[in-house]
Each structure stands twice: as structure tokens, then as C-alpha cells.
Chain A
């Protein structure tokens, strides 16, 4: 549940990472504080347990930022967030791998980073290796795995738990055809009734299929919130309208009737 959440971020382009230059700037009175941009603007959002919510909207609308707030990676300056339940952030599989460590060590490392007890991860190593079809690569370094294998390993570790809240950022398809089927089954299993899901995607069909509610974000604010079909339809209508308008404007500029 989010209540009046606003978040500003310092724009990296304007920030000077140079201590020497910053000191001189302060001394010569030319110091300028880097501007901060409002990325989330007073977002109120209540998601009920078990709801499957899709987030849509143009690039830069704040969808991923919202996910990061829900996961607790970013802390908003205003408003508050209440999340009840174990959150599984599936923002990108394998982000916590250390490629120079062995597969087994990485299962332990990545699982612990994702918030599970180390002892539990050590117990589950065999299950995970089996699911990822990497039993023969136990002691190989992750560097030596192919990118498909890495993705499989990341998927197997990240989804090997019973989260109460699942947060996904365009990461449903992994590996070759047979593994994709298997991973789809696992996703379906994770998609059980009691699990709350927040999914960011540009794939409207996916949102349609997998979610029962969709939120359309524009410029850090919620533009529309409702049943998936309704929101996606409104989004499409808007995209089409702005496209038509653009065409009309171009035509007018070119003097075409």
C-alpha cells in the first residue's frame, strides 16, 4: 500500500562527481546545487492481497521507480509505504552473481542476497541445480556458463521460494523452448491466488492475460487505474489519438490537406 508517495532524484547529468572542482566552486562562490527531478508525484495506491496488477505507460513514466519503491530499494522523501509479506524482486535475474565463483557458491550468494537464510539455500542447492539442468556444472565458475545457462540459474534461484508479493520487470521469458515451458509452469504456480503480483510490461497481451488490474502511469503520476482491459484500452486510445494528432500536425506543417 502506498500513500501519497513522492520521490525526487538528483539528476546524474548535472551532478559533479569531482571533489576538487566542487571545492573550488564553493570557494569561488559559483557552487550550484544539482537540480532534483520529481520522479513520482503523490502516488496513492492500494493493492489488495492476491491482486495481480500490471503497470503500463511510456518510458520514463516512473514505472520501474515505483517498483523500486515497492521493493524498498528507493525510499520516498514523502508519503509512506506499507508492504505486508515477503517480497520477491524479480527485476533482473542473476544481478547478484559473482562470475568468478562456482555455481554452488553463487546459489548460496544470490539466494542470501534475495533475503533467504543461508542454511535454507544450502539445503536447496540440489533442487535448484536440477531445475536449472545444471547438475554437471556444480563446481564450474559462472563465467564459464553460456548466457542461457546463466539465465536459467538466475531464474531457478529467484523463483525457488514462496513469496507473498512478486515484483516483475519484463522478465518472464528465459532460455530455450523447453526451459521456457518449464519456467512458465513455475510462474503459473507462483501466480496462485494468494500471491500479490506487480508486473511492469510493454506487452499489452501479457498484461491482459496475466493481470486483473492495470495502472497506467504518465510523468510519475497515475493516469488511469482500473480493470486490465479498461486501462489498456484507454492507453491504446490515447497512443492512437496522439499519433493521429501528430500526423495531422505534420500534414498541416507540410501543407497537405
Chain B
């Protein structure tokens, strides 16, 4: 157990360092992309959508930033987890290592980045905007759900990729679909009622809406939405791991 923990630590650190090679400001650099995208969306859609945020362009921008943080985490971490077992195939052929560590350490590395980069930023925004300790305390909750969801999907995809090497192309399409059905830059309110019921099946939906509510919304928090997000996340995590575990004995022949 202690050994697995050590392994998770060194592998996670390896992944984090690989991303920020040679720049100590690395994690803050990673904020630059979403910030610029936020500026672009605000410039384009801000005037139209601000009315859903009480007419405030700033709140719309914050809402977009929250959405981007969630959606980018999901897309980026699961895409990297997808390759994690196959990429380390040579290593797995030379030493006995718990295979689950590879998708896990990828997700852990992304979690670390969000926890050190965007999350403090969102906490500060939440304090400044809502001035409500309850909202501020709830900020990390949707991210817990997000990490669980990404872990499950990461397990599932990394196992599938061992067997089918054309999976990344299809997964690109799946993540694009997930991205565009998540209310990242548009408010969920503009979606017609009937279609919104379909969008709510997207597990990212309650996470984005929940995260946005904790940072921007002045309204009372909806505990049901958090429970739904956490429950779905836990379910996907368990199912993903079960799938991974069931196929694991056949991995070594193909990597």
C-alpha cells in the first residue's frame, strides 16, 4: 500500500514536470489559455448573453472561465489517461507495476494543476462575488465530482485503447460532443426546455452548472445538483475501474 502510494507520487510528479518543463511559472502559464479564450468569448457573445447574468459582462466572463476550466479538465485529462497504459508499455514489460497507476497518476497530475492553478483563483472570485462563506466552501465540490468522472472515463478509455488503436479518433468526436453539449459559453437557459432535458444527461452538465453557481450565482445553492454530480461521478469511477480490472489480465499480450 505504501509502495503504491510512493509510485503514484513519483509518476504524478513525472507527468506534472513533463508538462511544465523548464518554466517555474508553468502552472500559471496554463491559466493563460483559458483566460484568453474567455476574453474572446466575452468579446463575441458577451453583449448577447450578459442579460442572463444580471446584465454584467464581468459575471458572464467569470461564468465562461468556470465552464472552460471544467470542460478543459475533462477533455484534457481523459485524453491523456487514454494513452497512459499503452505509452508505458515498454516499462510494463520490464517491471511488475500496478497498471491502474498509469491512468490514475495522469488524472492526479491534472488535479494537482487545477488545485494549484485555477482553484485558488476561483475561490478568490467566489469570495469577491458572492460574499457568502457557504458558496466559497462549496467551490471544490463540483471539482471532486469532476475528478471522479474523469477517473472513471480515463480507466475505461485506457483499457479500450490497449485493444483498439483507432479509439483516439473516435474519442476526439466524443469529447467534442461532450464539449458542445456542455453550457460553457452559452447559458443553459437559452436551450429549449425539451432539449435541455437531453443535455442534462451529459454528466458534465451538473458539474459546470454547480461550479458556476458557487462562483457567480447569488442564488441559494441547490444541494440536489451537487448530490447528482457527485453520485454520477462516483458511479462512473467505479464502473470505469471495474471495466479496467476485468480486462487487465489480457493487457500484457498487446502492449
Contacts and interface: CB of A to CB of B under 8 A. Distances in A.
Q: Do A and B come from one complex?
A: yes
A12 B253 CA distance: 7
B32 to A, nearest CB: 22
A58 interface: no
A91 B14 contact: no
B194 to A, nearest CB: 32
B191 interface: no
A53 B11 CA distance: 34
B94 A96 contact: yes
A73 B94 contact: yes
B163 to A, nearest CB: 7
Interface stretch (A16-24, A208-216, A223-231, A244-252): A16-24
Contact of A118 (B10, B170, B252): B10
How many of chain B's residues touch chain A, expressed as a range? 20 to 34
Given A73-B93, A109-B10, A112-B6, A19 B166 contact: yes
Contacts of A17: 163-166, 254
A9 B95 contact: no
B21 A92 contact: no
Nearest to B170: A19
Contacts of B250: 10
A92 B94 contact: yes
Interface in B71-102: 90-97
Nearest to A21: B166
A20 B164 CA distance: 9
A33 to B, nearest CB: 12
B252 A113 contact: no
B249 interface: yes
B95 A15 contact: no
B105 to A, nearest CB: 12
Interface in B10-56: 10, 13-14, 17-18, 21
A95 B90 contact: yes
B96 A19 contact: no
A230 B163 CA distance: 45
B9 A105 contact: no
B14 A109 contact: yes
Contacts of B6: 112, 117-118
Contacts of A22: 164
Contacts of B17: 100-101, 105
A75 interface: yes
B91 A73 contact: no
Given A75-B249, A100-B21, A95 B163 contact: no
A10 B254 contact: yes
Contact of B164 (A18, A89, A92): A18
B7 interface: yes
B170 A95 contact: no
Contact of B94 (A12, A18, A95, A112): A95
A12 B163 CA distance: 11
B202 to A, nearest CB: 23
A96 B91 contact: yes
B252 A12 contact: no
Given A109-B14, A117-B2, A117-B6, A15 B252 contact: no
Interface of B: 2-3, 6-7, 9-10, 13-14, 17-18, 21, 90-97, 160, 163-167, 170, 249-250, 252-254
15 contacts: A17-B166, A18-B166, A19-B164, A73-B252, A75-B249, A75-B252, A91-B94, A91-B95, A98-B14, A109-B14, A112-B6, A115-B3, A115-B95, A117-B6, A118-B10
Given A19-B167, A92-B94, A101-B17, 17 more contacts: A12-B254, A17-B166, A19-B163, A89-B94, A89-B96, A91-B95, A96-B94, A96-B95, A105-B14, A112-B7, A112-B10, A113-B10, A113-B91, A113-B95, A115-B3, A117-B2, A117-B3
6 A-B pairs with least C-beta separation = A19-B164, A72-B96, A95-B94, A118-B6, A17-B165, A10-B253
